[in-house]
Amino acid sequence: MEIKKNYFEFRNALTKGDYQKAEEYFQKAFEDAFVLYQLKLSNNEKFNLNDENELFAVVVLTDNAIGFWKEGMMEEGIAFCESMVDLVESPKLKEMFKGYSLGMQAGIDIDTFFREYVDLSKVDEEFPQFLCNFKDKIKELIK
């Protein structure tokens, strides 16, 4: 599995505007990440965030969840985020997946969610790959 490598090739192709290559690399990264996701679910294991390939599997899977959100596939996105809460040990990433799920459950479009509920000015020291720092306003979504 070369999830990290394929993810970086995806980002590089995007930067160059080569959308066909970007899609190919993302598909490769996603397929490997999804196989790993299924293994973790079936074996009741957590992603090892110290292993770069497993960390980037979570990055790719998070991108996919955001893709569900962008496409208006809220049920799929919510179910995926909720399953990911159980597959990561990090309280920060658990909180991120819960926050994303709350945004989808509230029917907030993704652009509004990131603008109003996510602190985009703060890059997380532990997980710079993720937009995982919320503004206090996120508490409004907790029922």
pLDDT at 118: 94
Mean pLDDT of 86-97: 95
The residues that bridge with 134 in the sheet, in sequence order, are 118
Q: What is the pLDDT of residue 60?
A: 95
Domain span holding position 10: 3-141
CA–CA separation, 70 and 72 (whole Å): 5
**pTM across the whole model:** 0.90
pLDDT for 143 beyond 80: no
Inform me whether the pLDDT recorded for 16 exceeds 90: yes
Q: Considering its fold, how many domains does the chain have in total? A: 1
Tokens of 115: 């603008």
Average pLDDT over residues 64-88: 94
Whether residue 33 has pLDDT greater than 90: yes
Q: How far apart are CA 20 and CA 28, in angstroms?
A: 13
The pair phi, psi for residue 124, each rounded to 5°, is: -70, 130
Cβ atoms 103, 113 nearer than 8 A: yes
